[in-house]
Amino acid sequence: MENENTVSALDQIKEKSAAGFVVHESGLSAEITEEERSMVGEIKGEKGVYFFDPNTMAPRYASIMVNLEEKNYLALAAETIRNDSRTYPRTTPLALFSESSFSFTQETVEIILRSFQDKPGFEDIEKCGASNGAMHLFSKKYLDPAQAEYLCEWDEVGRAENQ
């Protein structure tokens, strides 16, 4: 018989999501039921399945959290850059990765930049720079380099001058 004090898997997922975290399947202290499973979001990572409450956490943010949990920083950075270029479109400030929720170390950021240059599969990712010295990244698959250059300068300098 189930312990009355056991918190249901659904409640655990809700609580974690409300606090901004996803839950790995191994982190649940109660078995998740099929009914509960239909009420939550799940993402299959390289190290298993992660759950989140779609009422308090957007799938995109959950994806960020899964990549962070799995320390899959390179893929996360690439996914973020491509999503920004494709969806909005906009360039991605390199500084973004040093801020929460990413909170990459400087060393990690440097490894990512080198990997974009050296590793296969990231040929679409390019750098661009603004007049204030800031570096941005974009995917040339989705964003024209000239447009990226403008958007980078606008984000770093132009917007503040045109309030």
The contact set with other proteins (CB under 8 A) reads: 17, 20, 56-61, 64, 87-90, 93, 96, 99-102, 144-151, 154-155, 158-163
Give, in degrees to the nearest 5, the angle at Cα 16 between 14 and 50: 90
* Cα–Cα distance measured from residue 41 to residue 37, given in angstroms and rounded to the nearest whole number: 8
Q: Cβ closer to other proteins: 125 or 128?
A: 128
Q: Residue 135 belongs to what H/E stretch?
A: strand 135-139
> What is the closest distance, in whole angstroms, from the C-beta atom of residue 105 to other proteins in the complex?
17
Q: Cβ closer to other proteins: 5 or 133?
A: 133
> What is the closest distance, in whole angstroms, from the C-beta atom of residue 119 to other proteins in the complex?
24
Contact 7, 27 (CB under 8 A): no
> What is the closest distance, in whole angstroms, from the C-beta atom of residue 86 to other proteins in the complex?
9
Q: Cβ closer to other proteins: 60 or 71?
A: 60
> What is the closest distance, in whole angstroms, from the C-beta atom of residue 140 to other proteins in the complex?
11
> Which bin fits 6, alpha (ψ -120 to 50), beta or left (φ > 0)?
beta
Count, residues in the chain? 163
